[in-house]
Amino acid sequence: MLGRNPGALHHEILAIGAEMSQYIFDLSTHPNGNHVIQAFLLTFKASDTPEQGDRPGAEAFAAYTQFIFAACMAYCDQIGSDKHGCCVMQRCLEKGLLVQKLALADVIVRRIHVLIEDPFGNYLVQNVLKLKNDLRNDQILNFIAGDFLRLS
Amino acid sequence: MSAELSLEELDICKQVEVLAFDQAGCRMMQKKLEEKYADKSDSGVFAAALVHCMLDILPDVMTNQFGNYLCQKLIEVAPIPSLKQLVQVCLSSVVEVSMDLHGTRAI
């Protein structure tokens, strides 16, 4: 519905986002709720894959998805190491605006010592690598190099 | 609004609180909505009337095993003002419905 006519339903989309924003953690880690959050990201996507740049005009979608990114950054460890939550965060890294993706990547890199060995969180580190951002990749490689044998 | 509705459609609107939770009823309404939507000359008044009659029960219909399909169809075909109404009445239960097995599809 939201994708049908974002202009005419602008206020409704923001209202739904505002209503959900306090519950992003619960929704993202819920077996049914996580699909609604993923639908938000897919409907208002700025790109398809992590390494892609923003589509023209996608900046307008930032207002519709920023509340999801904010929650993912605030609860990075908990959402990232959850079976469903990690799918939501992978969608974030694929579909968000470049600024949103890089901001989330920074948080993931900061929490790499927790996420890299997590059965679900490790996918997020792999997705940050797919952003192909030199600075973030250097930080990840440095961390891995410091503990290479044990991690291998 | 009722001036444009056929007697049959008016009947459906009156009974919607029963039909929306019934498998055959939901199928029938979805088919009707589809036919109307395919007809370019249709004003969408039936879809709008259905939304109007269901405002009080929408969250319950969305979480129903049959009703959620009806809601998905309504959201597809209803005119924008009806969608605004629909969002307004569902807003307070949107998180709860999102976590429901059937509701998640409607949301």
- Domain parsing of chain B, residue ranges: 2-106
pLDDT value at position A2?
Answer: 57
Contact B95 A8 (CB under 8 A): no
In a domain, A2, yes or no: no
pLDDT value at position B41?
Answer: 85
> Could you tell me which chain B residue has the CA closest to the CA of A8?
B80
Closest by CA position to A75, among listed A41, A108, A42: A108
Nearest beta carbon to residue A9 from set B76, B80, B95:
B80
In a domain, A145, yes or no: yes
Residues 6+ away with beta carbon under 8 Å from A14: A63, A64
- Measure B29 CA to nearest chain A CA, in Å: 19
Backbone torsions φ then ψ of A84, nearest 5 degrees: -85, -40
Contact B107 A8 (CB under 8 A): no
Backbone torsions φ then ψ of A28, nearest 5 degrees: -65, -30
Q: What integer is the mean pLDDT of B96-103?
A: 93
**Chain A hits for B107, Cβ within 8 Å:** 36, 39
> Could you tell me which chain A residue has the CA closest to the CA of B98?
A33
- Measure B107 CA to nearest chain A CA, in Å: 7
The per-residue pLDDT for range B16-73, each reduced to its tens digit, is 999 999 999 999 999 999 999 998 888 889 999 999 999 999 999 999 999 999 999 9
Portion of chain A with pLDDT greater than 70, in percent: 96
**Chain A hits for B103, Cβ within 8 Å:** 32
What's the number of domains chain A is made of? 1
Nearest beta carbon to residue A32 from set B83, B87, B104:
B104
Q: Which amino acid is at B76?
A: E
The per-residue pLDDT for range B63-84, each reduced to its tens digit, is 999 999 999 999 999 999 999 9
Interior/surface letters A53-76, b for 16+ CB within 10 angstroms, e for the rest: ebeeebeebbebbbbbbebbbebb
Instruction: Answer yes or no: is pLDDT of A82 > 50.
Output: yes
* C-beta neighbour count of A44 within 10 angstroms: 23
Length of chain B counted residue by residue: 107
Q: What integer is the mean pLDDT of B78-105?
A: 93
In a domain, A68, yes or no: yes
In a domain, A5, yes or no: no
Confidence of residue B1 (pLDDT cuts 50, 70, 90): very low
Backbone torsions φ then ψ of B80, nearest 5 degrees: -50, -45
pLDDT value at position B2?
Answer: 45
The per-residue pLDDT for range A20-77, each reduced to its tens digit, is 999 999 999 999 999 999 999 999 999 999 999 999 988 888 999 999 999 999 999 9
**Chain B hits for A15, Cβ within 8 Å:** 87, 91
- What the block records as the tokens of A60 is 């307008």
Nearest beta carbon to residue A33 from set B80, B91, B98:
B98
In a domain, A119, yes or no: yes
Residues 6+ away with beta carbon under 8 Å from B74: B33, B47, B50, B51, B54, B86
Instruction: Answer yes or no: is pLDDT of A3 > 70.
Output: no
- Measure A92 CA to nearest chain B CA, in Å: 19
- What the block records as the tokens of A59 is 């900046």
Closest by CA position to A69, among listed A43, A113, A101, A39: A101
| Prediction ipTM score | 0.85
The per-residue pLDDT for range A84-100, each reduced to its tens digit, is 999 999 999 999 999 99
Q: Which CATH number belongs to the domain containing residue A97 in this structure? A: 1.25.10.10
Provide the CB-side half-sphere exposure for B34 (13 A, CA). 10
Are residues A61 and A115 in contact, defined by beta-carbon separation less than 8 angstroms?
A: no
Backbone torsions φ then ψ of A52, nearest 5 degrees: -70, 145
Q: Quote the distance between the C-alpha of residue A107 and its chain's center.
A: 10
In a domain, A3, yes or no: no
- What the block records as the tokens of A116 is 């890299």
Q: What integer is the mean pLDDT of B76-100?
A: 94
Query: What is the residue-averaged pLDDT of chain A?
Result: 92
pTM: 0.89
**Chain B hits for A87, Cβ within 8 Å:** none
